[in-house]
Structure 1
């Protein structure tokens, strides 16, 4: 254990540095270019946290001490709060100043605040390791205001904590408040901001200039910030590079969609741009080549690209095709509706509503297709 290692080697660490033997080839340089306290800090970081000599020297400019007492007490603080040796090493390597801080004044109040909101000790460990910088920021002026701002849109301590656990920078990023303000001023609705904060909060860590550019680009595509799908559009626009975005445009064009058609699909369901090129091609291949249906149908329901091909699209499509061939479903009915229903409603409306013989055949067909396609999906997990 790191703690016992330090305690057992405290005397060795504090030995006069002129007699200290460094295992690194350029340690002599440090002894001749740094002060005694800096040299002690360097040796402490190298021996107890596996710092490289260069990184230890750099860190010693932020924190330095002549004895191990303070640093040992900091390590003991984290150990008693459930942090492992590995956790502590990760934290110290990113924020070495912690080794000389008063943890009960600087860090503990932040832990207590999170506990008061329902976080568990393991949650706090995850947040601190995920972004140790949050322990450096002011509780009163930064952590609490940012927490309250995020919770204003999520409206649940449990869900707010879940977002923070997945993205600890929410408690310390320099851009969270300014970017949320930017979205509000541009008319982005609360539900869109909620979706961003719950799905991919890292989107609002970019510079306000970059976020503003993305918002304007989406507006030029005809997307209204007040619509609930605008959050999905931002997720797509900020979630993939411009080159990947253009590649997907080209993939849709390959299947006969014009630029205006693609824009219509994006306006209807922006998340279709988050599907991989392979997924787009596989859906189109099945829809056009196997079913013989026109790809233009999918423009009105581009959300289908986000559904599992093996688990949902193919089994349901086979039922719909059978019903059409048997004249049990009107050709004028929407081809897309069956794919958007819940499992329960789909079975009720397209399988269980028929006479016993027909119903038995449809159930058998549906579950056989589900089994066969699931087995295929295991070989090709992106479905």
Structure 2
């Protein structure tokens, strides 16, 4: 009804324009009216179809119809049937149509099925494909030959397995930007970055390889002293691309509040570039425990930046309390290397810092296990409540 009234009003206006004498060129106006009539009928059918089939509001249907129109329901019906056959729900299909309206007038056997078959051949499940297309519908309009297959093969070159590539592809929306991806990969290779380091980026944060201005980040990481031929270069690049300048500066300020200099922060970042992926709160919590609970020098942590990546509750606190007890009892020198007890596995920690001290073993086990058990209990309560 909404579309019909609009059509009648526009037709009336058009008829009024025809009353103006045009003695030399009468036919173009007649042809224009005929074209207008056909187009309006198409538009009216499209809007009605979108409302009746998908339950769109008139406003949404009108907006979608700006990108697609059809004069019969045959093609959109075949597209809907294809999606339904392949496990898509009505909600999935509605979302896809809103984001890629042109999909309604495609030939699903030529445009959609080959992409699905390719992904299935690489190990994706039907449910994987539903999740990917629902999350990133533009894969449907992307060229299989020029984008989907080259993108998949580009990622696979560095991850070296179909399964890892599938995990990467289905876990990240920016996958389908082959031209950008290959350009950035070549830029890294030209800079001397190894395939294994590029594989790290694809596995951890592929969006970095599909971002703009990557050259600027590469140059910045080089200037900080990282060697492109080592994995730490890729990790540092990861940190610089995902941590905004404001968050980076806030983390530096957090370290400085505990007496670190900017040079100490940079040196620690060079040793362990994952350092700057720790949150500002985590940085403060670790140093606060180190200083307030253990009574140790916060500057000592600059020599062991890896500790900021460990769990505070499950590793740093229980092991720190055991070490403090050993130092107080004179069973370990405070000047001994502090990083080792935090780096080793739990089995080695218990063997070397708990079980070997026969007279203190009961006290040490109680101290250590109480903290571990408390954390496990707290995590269990959280899981039960969720």
Residue-by-residue CA offset, 1:338-370 (whole Å, 9 max, x unaligned): 112222222222223333x43333222110122
Q: Which residue of 2 aligns with 1:250?
A: 253
Q: Which residue of 1 aligns with 2:313?
A: 310
For residues 38 and 291 of structure 1, the distance between their equivalents in structure 2, rounded to whole angstroms, comes to: 73
Q: Which residue of 1 aligns with 2:364?
A: 362
Q: Which of 120, 123, 129 is the equivalent residue of 1:115?
A: 120
For residues 275 and 379 of structure 1, the distance between their equivalents in structure 2, rounded to whole angstroms, comes to: 25
5 Å matches for 1:50-129?
50-51=55-56, 53=58, 55-129=60-134
Does the aligned pair in 2 maintain the 1:316–1:339 contact within 8 Å? yes
Cα gap change, 1:336 to 1:379, in 2 (>3 Å): farther
The secondary structure found in structure 1 opposite 2:183 is helix
Q: CA deviation at 1:184?
A: 1.7
For residues 186 and 142 of structure 2, the distance between their equivalents in structure 1, rounded to whole angstroms, comes to: 21
Residue-by-residue CA offset, 1:239-281 (whole Å, 9 max, x unaligned): 1211111111111111111111010011111222122211111
Does the aligned pair in 1 maintain the 2:251–2:280 contact within 8 Å? yes
* 2:231 maps to 1:266: no
Does the aligned pair in 2 maintain the 1:51–1:93 contact within 8 Å? no
Q: Give TM-score scaled by structure 1 length.
A: 0.85
Q: CA deviation at 1:57?
A: 3.7
Cα gap change, 1:334 to 1:69, in 2 (>3 Å): same
* 2:219 maps to 1:216: yes
For residues 222 and 170 of structure 1, the distance between their equivalents in structure 2, rounded to whole angstroms, comes to: 30
* 2:369 maps to 1:347: no
Does the aligned pair in 1 maintain the 2:4–2:44 contact within 8 Å? no
Q: Which residue of 1 aligns with 2:28?
A: none
Does the aligned pair in 1 maintain the 2:275–2:308 contact within 8 Å? yes
RMSD: 2.4
Q: CA deviation at 1:56?
A: 3.6
For residues 245 and 29 of structure 1, the distance between their equivalents in structure 2, rounded to whole angstroms, comes to: 55
For residues 31 and 298 of structure 1, the distance between their equivalents in structure 2, rounded to whole angstroms, comes to: 77
Cα gap change, 1:31 to 1:358, in 2 (>3 Å): farther
Residue-by-residue CA offset, 1:226-245 (whole Å, 9 max, x unaligned): 22122221222111211111
- Unmatched segments (≥5 aa) in structure 2: 11-38
Q: CA deviation at 1:206?
A: 1.6
The secondary structure found in structure 1 opposite 2:355 is coil
Cα gap change, 1:342 to 1:223, in 2 (>3 Å): same
For residues 306 and 377 of structure 2, the distance between their equivalents in structure 1, rounded to whole angstroms, comes to: 24
Cα gap change, 1:54 to 1:240, in 2 (>3 Å): farther
* 2:161 maps to 1:156: yes
Q: Which has the higher contact order (CA 8 A, sep 6+)?
A: 1
Q: Give TM-score scaled by structure 2 length.
A: 0.85
- Any runs of at least 4 consecutive aligned residues in structure 1 with deviations exceeding 4 A, and if so which? 26-34, 50-55, 373-381
Structure 1 range deviating more: 364-373 or 252-261: 364-373
Q: Which residue of 2 aligns with 1:192?
A: 197
Cα gap change, 1:285 to 1:55, in 2 (>3 Å): same
Q: CA deviation at 1:214?
A: 1.2
Size of the aligned set, in residue pairs, is 355
Structure 1 range deviating more: 50-59 or 270-279: 50-59
Residue-by-residue CA offset, 1:30-60 (whole Å, 9 max, x unaligned): 7756621122212322343354555544433
Structure 1 range deviating more: 118-127 or 192-201: 192-201
Does the aligned pair in 1 maintain the 2:147–2:178 contact within 8 Å? no
For residues 145 and 177 of structure 2, the distance between their equivalents in structure 1, rounded to whole angstroms, comes to: 12
For residues 266 and 58 of structure 2, the distance between their equivalents in structure 1, rounded to whole angstroms, comes to: 54
Structure number, greater radius of gyration: 2
Does the aligned pair in 1 maintain the 2:201–2:208 contact within 8 Å? yes
Cα gap change, 1:69 to 1:380, in 2 (>3 Å): closer
Cα gap change, 1:336 to 1:120, in 2 (>3 Å): same
Q: CA deviation at 1:79?
A: 0.6
Q: Which residue of 2 aligns with 1:3?
A: none
